[in-house]
Chains A and B, each alone.
Chain A
Amino acid sequence: MITPTNPSPPEDTQASLATVFRIAFGDALVVVLTFLVMFMGVGQISAEAGLSALQTAVMTSLTVAAPAQAAAMQILTSDGAVAGAWVAAVVAVVIINLRFIVMVASVLGRLPETNFLRGLGGVGLISASSFAVILPRLMDKRPPRPVLYCGIVGLLCSSSAIIGAVAGHQLAASVPVIVGATLGAMIPIYFATLIARQKKMRALMVNALFGAVLVPLAVPTMGSFALLVLPLIVAAISMLIDQRKKSDA
């Protein structure tokens, strides 16, 4: 059973910005470092597709999704691209990022009530990587001022993505194969340790395991939808099983 969110204790609202920033920075550091290099590749292919550094920065600041941006640039630079390919590129980004709806919904469920603007500040820049940092933190040791915490993590990740993308755009730099691969491996290895934080919650572990096994198997046929559709199906089935067990008991 998942532990309900506790209401914010009084000291939550009195924690200083520096305290919240320190927690957020510590949590996001690995993602920030990875993004600085990972998004250099995004910047490179954006330059190849004809985007300026400013356009690359604007796109990266709000999208913060390397796979989606890479897919869009791939569409723009493909051999059969026609003048209307820009529409396909935008649609591809939106489709690939549909999973963000589920991620934001999951984070919002663990945040205190707030107004629209503050909420937008908190979750407006959430990406897959910042989500992986934020959700375990909210479920494990909830930070003070959690909406601010979420906003800072999102902003740090987005900023590092912009810096990496613009640097990649300007320098068109390439890193040695082993360095690039190692940085690519930081994300899954670090995320696996974040998942491990919820080791006592069997249902979450089971869902993570099924996601890890099923999604790669389905990607060749379902594409990016696999990452959205399969976890939703597994979550629905596991909820049904648990409810049936409860009613039987």
Chain B
Amino acid sequence: MHEVAFAQWQLWAVAAGAGFGTLLLRIIPLVAREKIGGEQIREFFDRAGYGILGGIVATSALRAGHNLLKSEPATGAVVAIVCVIVAFVLSVWKGGTILPTIIGLAGFVAAGLLYQ
């Protein structure tokens, strides 16, 4: 447990500072919209956006895998990545998002129950 007791104004500063700081980050492209309106710039941001999505998928899958099998985090990570790949392939092959997600999650839960 931490020993520093923060004043109320400091805690409000954290809550409001983090919230409004993040809001300002979202406003930046809104203000500079004309500069990002070109086709090339938009294509660049689309690609970067999908790169970020890929990064989120991989990092959050690894985290979920580690949480599933804390005694064997490497195995948990492999399980999570395999489930993600299965859902992705099913979605590419058959289309849709919900059914592939359910199948991927079912595999994840089954692996968790099997190992625990």
A232 touches B18 (CB 8 A): no
Can you list 23 A-B contacts (CB < 8 A)? A51-B14, A52-B11, A55-B11, A58-B15, A59-B14, A72-B14, A85-B4, A90-B21, A102-B45, A104-B25, A105-B36, A132-B53, A178-B113, A181-B65, A187-B64, A188-B57, A193-B87, A193-B90, A196-B88, A204-B46, A204-B50, A215-B55, A215-B58
For chain A, give the interface size range.
35 or more
A residues apposed to B, CB below 8 Å: 2, 4, 30, 48-52, 55-56, 58-65, 68-69, 72, 76-79, 81-83, 85-86, 89-90, 93-94, 97-106, 108-110, 116, 119-120, 123-126, 128, 131-132, 135, 139, 177-178, 180-182, 184-199, 203-205, 207-216, 219, 226-228, 230-232, 234-236, 238-239
Min CB–CB distance B59 → chain A (angstroms): 5
Tell me how many residues of B have a C-beta within 8 Å of chain A.
82
Q: A94-B18, A123-B30, A227-B52 are in contact. List 15 more A-B contacts (CB 8 A).
A: A2-B43, A50-B5, A68-B22, A79-B2, A93-B22, A104-B30, A124-B23, A182-B68, A189-B87, A189-B100, A192-B85, A195-B54, A198-B50, A207-B47, A232-B51
B-chain residues with CB within 8 Å of residue A193 when the two chains form the complex:
87-88, 90-91, 96-97, 100-101, 104
Closest to B5 in A: A50
Contact among A4, A79, A185, A235 with B83 in the assembled complex (CB-CB below 8 Å): A185
B11 touches A51 (CB 8 A): yes
Kindly count the residue-residue contacts between A and B in the assembled complex, taking CB atoms under 8 Å apart.
326
The main secondary structure of chain A at its interface with chain B is helix
A208 touches B45 (CB 8 A): no
Closest to A29 in B: B98
| In the complex with contacts A59-B15, A182-B108, A232-B58 CB distance below 8 A | no
B residues apposed to A, CB below 8 Å: 1-6, 10-23, 25-31, 33, 36-37, 39-65, 67-68, 70, 76, 80, 83-85, 87-88, 90-92, 96-98, 100-101, 104-105, 108-109, 112-113, 116
